[in-house]
Amino acid sequence: MAGYKRPTVQQRLAATRPSGRAFGAGKPKGAGPATDEVPADSTFPAPLVLPGDELSFDPKYPPQSFRSWKQLKERNAVTDRRRTIYVVAPPKVTQDVQFVDHWAVPEGIADAIKAPAVEDIVNYLQAFYHGLPVRVLHEPELCFVDWEDGVRKKVSSESDRARKPRDVALATGSEAIHIRVRKYESFPAQLNLNNLLDVAISILPDDAYALLMIVNHDLYEDEDDDFCCGRAYGGSRVAVVSTASPTLGTTQSRRHLELLWLSRVCKTASHELGHCFGIDHCIYYACVMQGTAGLSEDARQPPYVCPVDSAKLLTATGADEMDWLRALLGFCERFGDDALFAAFAAWLRVRLEEVGVKDLEE
């Protein structure tokens, strides 16, 4: 476990309660938790912490219980006026910067598979955040344009533009916001994540609870960073997620790789939007809200939220747990027997049985 010490059963149970205590007033002191109150390890296992994983680097990362989440002053409440989650499709490209499309194609990939459809990502988020409306934001339509900073440098050819990427801008209809660009290993160019988050903040609608911007390009956060799959400014209620994926492999069918890509983006999108709801990284269980230190760790983490974070999520969305699980199951069943979504569907069916039995006993 590389220095990580998992919270005890009692601590995990207490973390799901508004009181922050595992037991009610009538529980004998020193008594253990009732077995029907503790989720099965087969349903909610401990995080797998390998050397090089996030919790191995920071094993004492502070836990966020349901009680501490509810008391978080920085958390933005869902209101009748501000409850919609908006998803922004990847920006279009104007004719004078058509080379920007080339930046989204991994180096050395001649026949890249198709990126996940925005509609599929939106449908997943509608299930994951069941209880709140999730919609595509059509206006303003974002578009990459040329960025002129002082004297514009002459570029002799299209190949030079691809070889030596220069900064661009994102036009929002009312302004053009500078997007820094750099050359890196896996893609012809990377876009600066912080600049894109600035764009997201500038277009956040008045009725939005949160906004998720999708981009097809590889991202970096600062010069010491190699790449970043996504990031949220939780307090500002915006997030950016990249669909860039240079390492899907080639031994599987195109359909399998497309669904693998979709599942990765859906997991990242649900995770980053979780931060907009004030949900911190999870240290209690294997959970989609775990922190991650790399692609291999990200791939190992489950798509579901643990009992602690589901308490936060369902409180924020106002959804019934059974309805929420059914919505996710309905999404997964659209993809038939594909291993990725079929596995999640199997987990959801078991969880529906557990919650149904618990409701009957209560």
For residue 151, what pLDDT band results from cuts at 50, 70 and 90? very low
In what order do the strands lie in the sheet containing 84-88? Answer: 134-136, 84-88, 208-215, 238-242, 230-233
CB-CB contact of 256 with 335 (8 Å): no
Query: Residue 124 pLDDT more than 50?
Result: yes
% of the chain residues with pLDDT over 70: 86
Which of 26-30, 73-77, 224-228 has the highest average model confidence (pLDDT)?
73-77
Mean pLDDT over each residue of the chain, to the nearest integer? 87
Q: Are 176 and 170 in contact (CB under 8 A)?
A: yes
pLDDT in tens, 287-344: 999 998 888 888 889 999 999 999 999 999 999 999 999 999 999 999 877 778 999 9
In the prediction, which pLDDT does 134 show?
A: 99
3-class secondary-structure state, position 107: coil
**How wide is the angle at C-alpha 268 spanned by C-alphas 13 and 294, nearest 5°?**
90
Q: What is the percent of the chain where pLDDT is above 90?
A: 67
DSSP codes of every residue in 41-103: TTTSPPP---TTSHHHH-TTPPP--HHHHHT-TTPPPP-SSS-EEEEEPPPEE-GGGTHHHHT
* pLDDT over 50 at 28, yes or no: no
Burial of residue 210, with CB atoms counted within 10 A of its CB: 0-12 exposed, 13-18 middle, 19 or more buried? buried
**135 φ, ψ (degrees, to nearest 5):** -135, 155
| CATH class, range 77-277 | alpha beta
The pLDDT value recorded for residue 29 is 45
Q: How far is CA 46 from CA 23, 34, 54, 311, in A?
A: 22, 19, 14, 18
Question: Are the CB atoms for 104 and 217 separated by under 8 Å?
Answer: yes
- Residue 303's pLDDT is 96
Confidence band, pLDDT 50/70/90 cuts, at residue 27: very low
Question: At what angle are helices 321-333 and 118-128 packed, to 10 degrees?
Answer: 150
Return the half-sphere exposure (C-beta side, CA atoms, 13 A cut-off) of residue 362.
8
Split at pLDDT 50, 70, 90, the class of 162 is: very low
In the chain, where the domains are located: 1-75+280-319, 77-277
